[in-house]
Amino acid sequence: MNGTEPNSLVSAVLMFNWVEYSVFCSMLLLSLLIGVYYGWCKRQDTVAEYMLGGKNMSVFPVTLSLVASYVSGVTLIGFPAEVYTYGTQFYAIIFTDLAMYFIVNYLYLPVFYNLQMNSLYEYLELRFNKFTRTLASLIFAISLIIFLPVVIYVPALAFNQVAGVSVHVISPVVTLICIFYTSFGGLKAVVWTDALQSLFILGSTIFVVILGLKKVGSISEVIRINEEGGRLELFNMNPSPFERNTFWTIAFGSIFIWIPQLAVHPSAMQRFIAVSSFKKAKAVMFWSVIGFLTIYGLVLIIGLLLYATYHDCDPVASGVVEKTGQLVPYYVMEVAHDYPGLTGLFISGVLSAALSSISSGLNTVAGTMYEDFVVYVLKGEKLSETRQNLVTKILVLVLGLLYILGVFVIERLGAIFQMVQSLVGATNGSLSGLFTLGIFFPQANATGAIAGTLTSLVVMSMVVFGAQVYSVRGLLRYPGKMTSVTNCSPDLIKSLPFNATSRCDTYTGIGSPVIADPSVPLIFQLSYLYYCLLGMVIVLVVGLAVSYISGPTDARHLDPQLFSPPVRHFLPKKGIKSIPENEEYKLVKTSDMATNNNTDGKRNSIL
């Protein structure tokens, strides 16, 4: 807490008036009504309909849902703050997005869409064994318990900045609303609320960009100021993996962050399989990439506008805000001061992004835990559809409460972007490595898969935890680019109980180095964007080595459809059935499966 915070909160409360609250509450009310509609008016009687929306959803809402699920408040608030502090190098992620279109559509998606599995982790049981599936499901559940509190915390912090409401008050409110429409409405409610919320996200960011450009004067002036401040940077080709941000750490390293997010993530595959043909699934991925690029472009401009506005009076150094995560809400309050409702619209957009990510995570992890844990514990005991739905909804509630508790831990950590990637790096690398081992390496066996996954999980947990410890102790620092307080109000500077100049970042060179004390081992200096890559490599190296030592799998005994299309050319020909891209799948209820044990019947059913 600093001496300026009370005044800041008073002015925030005065600005966030009834108009702002009306806009904000309208979004929450619409989300709740969608949940009510699909929970009571359009009841979904089976777990299959609840989890996959009847498997006949349109490309448009599913695309909006996928984009909204991965464009969280971390993107809307963390990305501009990243540009303000470290420059535009992070925008090299556009090359990652383009690469992911081909990686997902031609390497991973053909496998999972073709198999039409109950749970994504069922693939691991088919490819390896039951224990491998259970292990992966557990890691996935843990990763979401770690990640989603960040998604809740970011909009709560933004709301605190503009309305003065405590983070510990708004976090439970947001999560409980999300629990309500997710548990009652199922995937259809999640998808359509995501579609609605994506409009809030897009509309709010466009308005902020327009008003910001109007305030500065022109885009050329924005570029000039950012160039003088060393913010414009995209092709820093330094190959060192120990630099925080370079072209290679972003464009190449982020590929291995996105593989577990899009290529082997239950939430993403849930949406791909929710459309009725493989051609439509590929279309979802194509339009999602367009959506990602659009949002990234808008938030990049907001980051440039932040620096153009505050380049000579840094709000963090001057104590106007406490954390970089509050920069964007503070900026919106300034530019939207004369436009009633716009601040409420932007905060609604940030909150919408969070709600979509939380609801997707809750819906997916609840379904995964039901399939991979509850069903296993029951050991063949059949539950009615009503009781299955009830169990799934209870899981959503319990998980939501865990996410609320996680906020109390997250708020004590550092920069948003780096914090997120570091936390998920420990688990996501292991999961993507495990699926990649199964899909691309026929020789890998269950023993190797388990050994590689556990080794990766242990090593990456030590790396992430060690880096965080050294960072907290001040032995590992990530200095931002130069900021200044030279044009701040003299009265503001004099009123502060500290030397504002000493809080300014002063790095003027290219890139964003990692400054480490000589006592810090080199492994902890590794760029956080390489955590997932390192985790995947460990799984592949250890998994293949142990597989060969314990006896590699005989490819003649494997179903070629368990492998990526390029790998199938090297397998014994066993009459692989290719799916026509336009062939539509129809949902078969669980009760119908009891009398239909053929392969096609299994493929056409979900849950």
Q: DSSP state, 119?
A: S
Q: Which residue has the higher pLDDT, 538 or 118?
A: 538
Q: Which residue has the higher pLDDT, 456 or 43?
A: 456
A 10 A CB-CB count for 48 gives: 24
Q: What pairing do the DSSP bridges indicate for beta strands 512-513 and 515-516?
A: unpaired
Closest CA to 68 of 181, 173, 196: 196
**pLDDT value of residue 58:** 79
CB-count exposure of residue 474 (10 Å: 0-12, 13-18, 19+):
exposed
State which of 134-138, 313-317, 406-410 shows the largest mean pLDDT. Answer: 134-138
Percent of the chain with pLDDT over 70: 72
Report the mean per-residue pLDDT for the chain: 76
**pLDDT value of residue 591:** 36
**pLDDT value of residue 317:** 77
Residues 6+ apart with CB under 8 A from 208: 302, 331, 332, 335, 336, 342, 346
Has this prediction a pTM greater than 0.85? no
Q: Which of 143-152, 407-416, 480-489, 553-562 has the lowest mean pLDDT?
A: 407-416
d(CA 403, CA 143): 11
Alpha-carbon dihedral angle through residues 8, 12, 14, 16, given to the nearest 10 degrees: 180
What does the pLDDT look like over 158-192, one tens digit per residue? Answer: 677 666 777 777 777 777 777 766 666 555 666 66
Element (H or E) spanning 306, and its range? helix 278-310
- What does each C-alpha distance from 180 to 43, 295, 349, 397, 405 come to in angstroms? 15, 28, 19, 8, 18
Q: DSSP state, 99?
A: H
Residue 604 has pLDDT above 60, yes or no: no
